[in-house]
Amino acid sequence: MKLKDSRILVTGGSSGIGKATASLLAKAGARVAITGRDEAKLKKAADEIGAVAIDLDQSRYDDIPGKMKGAVDKLGGLDVLINNAGIGVSAPIGELTAEKFERVFSVNVIGLALLTQEAVKIFRGQDYGHIVNIASTAATKGYPGGSVYGGSKFALRGMTQCWQTELRKHNIRVMLINPSEVPTAFGRADRTERPEVERKLTSVEIAHAIKSALEMDERGFIPELSVWATNP
């Protein structure tokens, strides 16, 4: 697709991978909106990027249709949804609780699916659209303590495959990006960014992967792409 003048919504866009992606796409000429839960942080990031700020907590399901409408109205339409917002909890067997599952799945799975559903209504109507789901290499292989977070990303991977089969006939590309470890604010209570770590990925590598996947000629798409550090 051509990014110039395209309308793109990036969830979780106030920091980390989401912010790097929104910035890269805006520099390519796209009109970009970003979502986040911290309004002050969100507005600061939007001003830096030149994006539209949409305050959204994906676990508040009833807010989703109105927030999507607000984003579409401000962008003048929608061509791409990038599902980047997510939270994580690490808990081994013996420390699992319903609350931990509900908190993570409400954002990473249920809220994400309901937001995507609103985008799909638009995409089906115009017979065109692009969905990029940001999962994790944790969606491809289990690990100790990963029942909650890894489980949510396995669920996202499964939903992505379902949507690919449902939506290809509507000219909607659905792509999954699996980053390996990227030091960001992810999982931090105070949401401050972690410093870069030598030999680990940065948000920029993932942003380039997303941009490249979108820019492929629309006759084809990349169903799933994993990005690893070369020598961690």
- Residue 213: what pLDDT? 98
Contact call for residues 16 and 186 (beta carbons, < 8 A): yes
- Residue 96: what pLDDT? 98
- Residue 193: what pLDDT? 67
Q: In this structure, is residue 2 part of a structural domain?
A: no
Q: pTM value?
A: 0.94
Contact call for residues 81 and 96 (beta carbons, < 8 A): no
CATH of the domain at 183: 3.40.50.720
What strands lie across the sheet with 52-55, from one edge to the other?
52-55, 31-36, 7-10, 80-83, 129-134, 172-179, 224-227
- Residue 188: what pLDDT? 56
Q: In this structure, is residue 176 part of a structural domain?
A: yes
Total domains, the chain: 1
Domain of residue 76, residue span? 7-227
Rounded to whole angstroms, the Cα distance separating 227 from 177 reads: 8
Q: In this structure, is residue 175 part of a structural domain?
A: yes
Letter for the amino acid at 168? R
Q: In this structure, is residue 86 part of a structural domain?
A: yes
Other Cβ atoms less than 10 A from the Cβ of 114: the count is 16
Q: In this structure, is residue 232 part of a structural domain?
A: no
Catalytic pick from 61, 128, 143, 149? 149
Q: Is 149 a catalytic residue?
A: yes
Average pLDDT per 10 consecutive residues for the chain, totaling 232 residues: 98 97 98 97 98 98 98 98 97 98 98 98 98 98 97 98 98 98 70 74 96 97 96 79
